[in-house]
Structure 1
Amino acid sequence: MSFLRVLLEEFRAIFTNISVVFVVVVGSLLYAFLYPSPYKNDIVDSQKIAVVDLDNSSLSKELIFLVHSTPQVDVDYVLFSMKKAKELLEKGEIYGILEIPNGFESDVYRGIPSNLSYFANASYFLIYGAVIDGIIRATGELSDKIKLWRVFLEGGSKVKDTNLIERDSIPLFNPSVGYINYALAAILVFILHQTMIAGAGILGATQNQKNLAGIQGYWNRASALKLVLARVCAFSMIYIVFFLFYFGFLFQMYGIHIGADIVSYWCFALVFIFCCASFGVLLGLLVKKPAIPTQIILISSLPLIFMMGFIWPVELLPSFIVGFVHFIPAFHGINAFVRMNQMGADLSLVMDHFYWLLGLCICSIILCVGIITNRRKAEYLRG
């Protein structure tokens, strides 16, 4: 069989298999619109905290009012015991604790620096950052009021600003300081990775099942190399369209920043797509039931998400997990696409991920060809 004939047969097999169509087409479209729905508002706001007011003064009450007035923070509890506040934090009823020390008002009016303490679970990075930003804004507002009050008492006409260093926060890679550029950009790449591997795996498992039932098809007549390359090309051509849809339409619709050069982007994207497709073909050759690839993908999705390096830093992962995820295409794809699109990195800066994907793709194709060749030899010897 010619390569073109095998490729056409592959397309026919893909679009006549309901399970493959559902995972590849329906799954990719459904997840693209359903998953981002919780993140549409993007900005982290109205986070619940408790204030432990050990000063219980008019100035501390004014600070609590200002903190509660910021869009990022809701003061749900005003307490006088740190023990009670910690209990609420451990139960998940609040996300942080602001402690106002005893003598806060008297220290401020005497010009003595007073320290405010904030306690939180920093694992919720965006929540932690949003609450800290809200508290800093509130304390800055209170500081300005106190300066004006002191100028009025001293009979001055001009506010003497003693702040030699001012905080000017500029979110370089996440302008909205929200979830869109932080999580969604990576998750959409992961969705394409999972659906592609699952779809190719289902197709291969279906044909394995037919072989066991004695049903022959084009996959038995085509040479091993042509069959593998045709299947990889078929799924790659389908997912090139999905990449155009995701990165061209969905990223614009959700407001995800795109900073990659188009040539660099497609050079990397094509290697990533071919690598994912070859992984799916390999998975399909290793299983004999069409339901298993979907089950594997569903079970592995949540653990893999936390290994990809954008939710939990790679530097804090155990070394054996870091070594393992280097053999998962999504790890290289997500990290490279985020660097290129969100951080404006050039292709030369992600070449280590490029070479990993290229190597994984070549190894997967070689393994696929070897598995098919050995099976055919074994069937021939049995016959």
Structure 2
Amino acid sequence: MSAANNTKDTKDTKNTKNVNQANNLNKVSSPTTFWASFLQTFKDVFKDSGVVLMLLIAPVIYGFFYPWPYSSEVVNHVPVGIIDNDNSQLSRTIIRYANASPQLDTQGFINEQQAKEAIWSNDIAGYMIIPSGLERQVLSGKAASVSVLGNGGYFILNKNVQLGFLKAVSTVSAGIEVKKNVAQGAYLATAASNTQAVPLQIIPLYNQTEGYGAYVVPAVAILILQQTLLMATAMLIGTWYEQRRHATSVRGWLGRIMALSMLSFVVGCFYYGWAFELHHYPRGQNILGSLLFLTIFCPTVATLGCVLGLWFRQRERSLQILVFSSLPIFFVSGYPWPANQLPEVLQIIRWLVPTTPGVNMSVQMNQMGASVAQVATGFYALAGLWSFYFILLLIFRWRTQPSSEMRK
């Protein structure tokens, strides 16, 4: 019995020492003042290779490689087919103009079935059918038409197929109209001007090349900034929770948020000042407004990351959950698809995510030159989200923090 009691006393002593060591570690590693938490967070970030990779290295790598597939910007030389059932001078002229289009890369087919099989095997993206008797109908003054069919599964290719053939047929039609008017006694210059009674001039604003990369990359960059900051912050908080170092005061949480926000702010400046410049995207129209946006957006995202870290409580869980949220978040942001066309439930839920106002604010100010006043609603939304997240953080802090720390 004496030996058993001695063993028990020894275990109790060891347990007491371990508890005391854990408490001491908690006191040392969890500063409660603003600047102490700020500096400690910086130290912990750069000691954790996983957090550094997610917070700093990954967004920089994305800045290089995400725009790379869209480097050509505009899709050209789309393979298409032409079925010429008329085999006339007019049909050959239409084919010649289609061949000259930089949007199309044409090839001939004997019949429509052969063209369909080429679409099914992804050899072409669409085809045009020139009906038999087209030239005869045109010369007799009757209405005539050609058929253009595209693969609707690829909307960018489908758009090029339709526009390429439209320009070719419209150019030939305009030439025929001019010749008719000249034959009826009109002067050539007058006939040419009368083919388009109301001249149409299309000038794209902001994205002047009408490139896909210039459209999608500046918006996705904000999503990348958010998701990497969210995952890095949740990972770091999860690590602190596992080590029982998460507890701190309100001022301590503010210091942590400020440290994480500053690092993400630097990455945001990298996008605005270098990545968009490298790929020649529209940029810098309202750089001061864009920087003001980052000063509000980054703390909002960092605060949400702290809430998620306390909720997940495990380092790996943040990656497991958040990595799959990027695509849905982008689609409900209102950028790739009109927000008023979303289901009503999603129209409400989407405002819980910082990228909902953030993506559009960034594009409007940095690419389009909108003023701060013109996007003031977005600033109000981000300020409201930060307040909401911080209240949630205080609630989670109260539920996960020892009562001794709550009094600070």
Category of TM-score, reference length = shorter chain: 0.7 to 0.9
C-alpha offsets along residues 251-307 of structure 1, whole Å, 9 cap, x if unaligned?
A: 111111125423322232221111111111111111122122122232122333333
Partner of 1:188: 221
Query: Could you tell me how far apart the structure 2 residues matched to 1:101 and 1:330 are?
Result: 51
C-alpha offsets along residues 326-377 of structure 1, whole Å, 9 cap, x if unaligned?
A: 2111121112212223333222232222222111111111111221122225
Partner of 1:253: 278
Give the secondary-structure state (helix, strand or coil) at the position aligned to 2:401: helix
C-alpha offsets along residues 222-273 of structure 1, whole Å, 9 cap, x if unaligned?
A: 31x1232112111111122111111011111111112542332223222111
Partner of 1:65: 96
Alignment pair present for 1:345 and 2:370: yes
Query: Could you tell me how far apart the structure 2 residues matched to 1:110 and 1:117 are?
Result: 20
Partner of 1:41: 72
270, 278, 281: which is aligned to 2:306? 281
Amino acid at match of 1:5: A
199, 207, 215: which is aligned to 1:166? 199
Give the secondary-structure state (helix, strand or coil) at the position aligned to 1:326: helix
After superposition, residues 107-146 of structure 1 pair within 5 angstroms as 107-120=137-150, 124-143=154-173, 145-146=175-176
Change beyond 3 A, Cα 1:380–1:341: closer
Percent identity, aligned pairs only? 29
Larger Rg: 2
Give yes or no for contact 2:223–2:355 (8 Å, CA) kept in 1. Answer: yes
Partner of 2:340: 315
C-alpha offsets along residues 95-153 of structure 1, whole Å, 9 cap, x if unaligned?
A: 33434344322233334443334333567454344333322332244235545765887
Change beyond 3 A, Cα 1:119–1:349: farther
180, 193, 211: which is aligned to 1:178? 211
TM-score (norm 2): 0.81
Change beyond 3 A, Cα 1:71–1:229: same
Give the secondary-structure state (helix, strand or coil) at the position aligned to 2:297: helix
Change beyond 3 A, Cα 1:345–1:291: same
Amino acid at match of 2:67: P
Give yes or no for contact 2:56–2:263 (8 Å, CA) kept in 1. Answer: no
Query: Could you tell me how far apart the structure 2 residues matched to 1:23 and 1:120 are?
Result: 42
Change beyond 3 A, Cα 1:122–1:321: farther
Between 30-39 and 102-111, the greater mean CA deviation after superposition = 102-111
Amino acid at match of 1:314: A
Between 196-205 and 266-275, the greater mean CA deviation after superposition = 266-275
C-alpha offsets along residues 52-93 of structure 1, whole Å, 9 cap, x if unaligned?
A: 444343322331232132111122453533x66556556654
Alpha-carbon offset, residue 36 of structure 1: 0.9
Alignment pair present for 1:364 and 2:397: no
Alpha-carbon offset, residue 378 of structure 1: 7.0
Spell out structure 1 runs of 4+ moving beyond 6 A. Answer: 151-157, 378-381
Give yes or no for contact 1:53–1:101 (8 Å, CA) kept in 2. Answer: yes
Query: Could you tell me how far apart the structure 2 residues matched to 1:353 and 1:87 are?
Result: 50
Query: Could you tell me how far apart the structure 2 residues matched to 1:309 and 1:123 are?
Result: 22
Root mean square deviation of aligned Cα: 2.8
Amino acid at match of 2:40: E
304, 323, 326: which is aligned to 1:301? 326
Query: Could you tell me how far apart the structure 2 residues matched to 1:123 and 1:268 are?
Result: 37
Unaligned runs of 5+ in 1: 212-216
Partner of 2:52: 21
Between 18-27 and 369-378, the greater mean CA deviation after superposition = 369-378
Give the secondary-structure state (helix, strand or coil) at the position aligned to 2:302: helix
TM-score (norm 1): 0.86
Query: Could you tell me how far apart the structure 2 residues matched to 1:370 and 1:133 are?
Result: 56
Alignment pair present for 1:103 and 2:133: yes
After superposition, residues 67-86 of structure 1 pair within 5 angstroms as 67-76=98-107, 78=109, 80-81=111-112, 85=115
Partner of 1:214: none
Amino acid at match of 1:171: P
Amino acid at match of 1:228: W
Alpha-carbon offset, residue 194 of structure 1: 0.9
After superposition, residues 216-227 of structure 1 pair within 5 angstroms as 217=245, 219-220=246-247, 222-223=248-249, 225-227=250-252
Query: Could you tell me how far apart the structure 2 residues matched to 1:250 and 1:361 are?
Result: 27
Between 41-50 and 247-256, the greater mean CA deviation after superposition = 41-50
Query: Could you tell me how far apart the structure 1 residues matched to 2:277 and 2:111 are?
Result: 48
Between 170-179 and 121-130, the greater mean CA deviation after superposition = 121-130
Unaligned runs of 5+ in 2: 1-31
- How many residue pairs get aligned? The number is 372
Alignment pair present for 1:6 and 2:37: yes
Alignment pair present for 1:264 and 2:289: yes
